[in-house]
Structure 1
Amino acid sequence: MSSVPDNQLAPPVGGVEGTASAAAMETPELPLKPGPGTKTKAASTRRSRYIKKHKKEVQHGSWKLVYADFVTVLMAFFIVVWVMLFDNISKRERIDTSCIEPVAKELKELIAGDAGLQSAKPPFDIDYSTDGLRITLKDAGEPLFQRGGTTLSDFAKKQFQKIAAVANKCPTHKLKIEGYTDAEPYGGGIAGYGNWELSAERANSARRELVLEKVPIERISQVIGYGDSVPSMPQDPTNPLNRRISITIIPPKIGGEVKMGGMSPI
């Protein structure tokens, strides 16, 4: 009986597959090295976290852009409103002095040429208000009215003659007349009659005098009494200089606004 070599013996039970399975169980599994285009799990996780974080930051900061746009638009709106308001105020305050400047100059010359007033304080002041040329007659050594009375003195009548003469050179200009008193209580003995009533009646006496001097009555737009509420010398409310009459020559209005023009100091 011939012997059979070991390498020719019949395969064990299970055949070749059983042998391969056994070999696979005995051989340890080696980790696979990732290829150049292969993403590892850790890298994929980091990438996912980065994307989520980036999206969160963009969503969190977007409201700032919206808020900045809103603030810019709001600021532009208020700038436009402010410019329009400032322009309207400027139009109201600009006045046409083409007529009243010569009037002011003539009044100053009348004062300077009066020999009886050269050594005394001028009986009236001349300045510009927001309405026009304001002429203020005051007690400057010579009273305009008797104390507590409403009848103009001869001295006051002479001053109103001068004012009426120059005011009539601007026939389209309205006139506003205002009366003021000092803070001395009215002692006329009439119940309910005080400085308010006294100042209003004195202003009305001035109106009547201007009308007598040929100023058309329709040119007088306002007659106002302020009592002692607006003293010219607030530090000394009982000073006689607080007793005064103001006549304002108001330029005509065109299109609802005062006609524009330059102004020069008096």
Structure 2
Amino acid sequence: MPAPGANDRPIVIKRVKKVAAGHHGGAWKVAYADFVTAMMAFFMLLWLIANPDKQRLKGLAAYFSPTISDTSPSTPVMGTSEGAGGQARRSSNDSSRANGTPTSEAATSGAARGGTADVPDTSMRVLASELQIALDAVPQDQARKNVAIEPERAGMRITLMDTDKQSMFRPGTAELNPFARALLAKTAAKLAQAGGQIAIEGHTDATGGGQSDANWQLSGARALAARQAMIASGMTPDRFAEVVAMGGTRPVFPDQPDRAENRRITIVLKAEAPSLPTDSSFKF
């Protein structure tokens, strides 16, 4: 019989603690979703490129074509984008004539239909802004402005018009008043900094008939008077390409032919060379 305490060894109980597998995060799901989205966009792009429908491709190109919309002038002028012959007529972009209240042509034409985007040159828009600030400094009737400036791709149109409270000429004559001379002096100072040829259009109201000899003669004499005033303000004579008499054939308000705004001088600046291409739409 073994001696007491000979086999008394300590009993060790081992307890194994089971730990469940750790939870994986969901970041992989986000990455996978991004991958699937990118692949879908890639295959859609391949499908669009392989699509033989040229009209659909042209519409897609027009959607991504750059369009810049300028703010309409404070007194919009309708119907004055046509009138000067030669260079000034070729710079016109408005082929429609509205009736009733005047409207201004949008800065871009045809881009939404997949055509040519007529975006004004950046230098023309900057010059138009500077000229507007300079002309606004000339004291005038605040209720209705005498000035409308429209930058275009081919240049810029500056319209100086009468209002019912402020005229530019002595009634029935081609004699400029001090107000008109101040406007033309500011205009000449700004346009002297830009290149390009200048055309001047003279317009009268339709008193006595838009096609009357008196209106044709008066509109031509007023256009010449504006040219002489600009030359006296520092503009060189070689800058002027055309002086055009329009009579009363291009009223701002066709349904109100005797309205004061129909009596106006339009100065058309033809830019030397646009910085943007003629057609900014995509080609396929």
TM-score between both structures, scaled by the size of structure 2: 0.52
- 2:151 matches 1:128: yes
Counterpart contact for 1:157–1:209, Cα < 8 Å: yes
1:198 pairs, out of 215, 218, 223, with: 218
Q: How many residues align?
A: 168
* Structure 1 pair 221–110 and aligned structure 2 pair: CA distance change class (3 A): same
**Match of residue 236 from structure 1:** 256
Does residue 260 in structure 1 map to residue 276 in structure 2?
Answer: yes
Secondary structure (helix, strand or coil) at the match of 1:199 reads: helix
Answer yes or no: is the 8 Å Cα contact 2:120–2:151 preserved in 1: no
In structure 1, the residue matched to 2:173 is: 149
Aligned to 1:178: 201
Partner of 1:211: 231
Question: Residue 85 of structure 2 corresponds to which residue in structure 1?
Answer: none
- SS of the aligned residue for 2:252 comes to coil
Shift of 1:208: 0.7
Runs of 4+ in 1 over 6 A off after TM superposition: none
Contact 1:94 1:261 in 2 (8 A): no
Residue pairs, 1:1-266, within 5 angstroms? 90=116, 96-98=121-123, 100-114=124-138, 116-117=139-140, 119-129=142-152, 131-140=154-163, 141-170=165-194, 172-185=195-208, 193-253=213-273, 258-260=274-276
TM-score scaled by length of structure 1: 0.55
> Within 1, Cα distance between the matches of 2:166 and 2:260?
10
**Structure 1: 5+ residue stretches without partners:** 1-75, 77-85, 187-191
Deviation at 1:128, TM superposition (A): 3.0
Q: What's the offset of the Cα at 1:129?
A: 4.6
CA-CA distance at 1:217 after TM superposition: 0.8
131 and 231 in structure 1: CA distance in 2 versus 1, 3 angstrom threshold: farther
Identity score, percent: 29
User: Greater Rg, structure 1 or structure 2?
Assistant: 1
Cα offset, 1:166, TM superposition: 0.8
| SS of corresponding position for 1:127 | strand
CA contact 1:111–1:122 (8 Å) conserved in 2: no
Q: CA deviation at 1:112?
A: 4.0
2:18 aligned residue: none
SS class of match (1:194): helix
Separation in 2 of the partners of 1:178 and 1:234? 18
The letter of the residue matching 2:224 is: N
- Structure with more helix by fraction: 1
